[in-house]
A and B are shown apart, each in its own frame.
Chain A
Amino acid sequence: MESQIQQIHQQLIDKKISCVDLVQEKLSALKENTHNTVNSLLSELALEQATKVDTKIANGENIGLLEGIPFGIKDVYMLQGTYATASSDLLKNYKSAYTATAIQKLLDAGAIPIVKENCDSFGHGSSSENTIFGAVKNAVNPELVGGGSSGGSAVNVAKDYTVFSIGGDTGGSVRQPAGYNNVYGLKPTYGRISRYGLMAYASSTDCVGPIATSVEDIRIVLNTMSGKDTKDQTTYTSESIEETSILDTTGIKTVGYFKNFIESEAIDTQIKEDFLASIEKIKAKGIQVKELDFFKSDILVSTYYTLAMAETASNLSRLDGTNYGDRIDDKDLKESYAVTRSEKFSEETKRRIVGGNQVLSQGFSDEIYLKGLALRDAISENFEKDFEEVDIILSPVTPSIPPKIGDSLKDPLAMYLSDAYTVGFSLGQLPTLTVPQGTQTGLQVTAAKNNDELVLKFANFLKDTI
Chain B
Amino acid sequence: MSKIMTVDVLSSIKGAQPSEAVSKLFDVIKNAQTTNNNPFNNNHNNSVSLDNLREDEVIESSALEKQIIKDNFPKEKNGYLVVSKVIDA
Contact = CB atoms under 8 A, between A and B. Distances in A.
Interface of A: 80-81, 94-98, 190-191, 204, 230, 233-234, 298-299, 301-303, 305-306, 309, 313, 317, 320-327, 329-339, 341-342, 345, 350-355, 357-359, 361, 364, 367-368, 370-378, 380, 411-413, 416
A377 B36 CA distance: 9
Given A309-B22, A354-B7, A324 B34 contact: no
Given A354-B13, A359-B26, A413-B25, 7 more contacts: A81-B68, A191-B46, A301-B25, A306-B26, A333-B84, A354-B16, A411-B21
Question: Looking at chain B's contact residues, is the secondary structure mostly helix, strand, loop, or mixed?
Answer: loop
Contacts of B36: 374, 377-378
B68 A96 contact: yes
B58 interface: no
Contact of A354 (B17, B28, B32): B17
A338 B44 contact: no
B39 A370 contact: yes
A333 B83 contact: yes
B73 to A, nearest CB: 7
Interface of B: 5, 7-8, 10-19, 21-22, 24-26, 28-30, 32, 34-39, 42, 44, 46, 48, 52-54, 61, 64-65, 68-69, 71-75, 83-86, 88
Contact of A97 (B29, B72, B74): B72
Given A355-B22, A377-B42, A338 B13 contact: yes
Contacts of B35: 378
A451 to B, nearest CB: 17
The 4 A-B pairs at the shortest CB distance, nearest first, are namely: A373-B39, A302-B28, A327-B74, A413-B21
Contact of B19 (A326, A367, A370, A412): A412
B34 A336 contact: no
Contacts of B13: 338, 341-342, 345, 350, 353-354
Contacts of A333: 83-86
B84 A299 contact: no
- Indicate the member of A233, A321, A358, A380 with the most B CB atoms within 10 Å: A358
A325 to B, nearest CB: 7
7 contacts: A321-B74, A324-B73, A329-B84, A332-B84, A350-B11, A352-B22, A359-B26
A339 B14 contact: yes
B14 A342 contact: yes
Given A302-B25, A338-B12, A351-B22, A361 B5 contact: yes
Nearest to A384: B44
A351 B5 contact: no
A320 B17 contact: no
B64 A81 contact: yes
A376 B57 CA distance: 35
A423 to B, nearest CB: 11
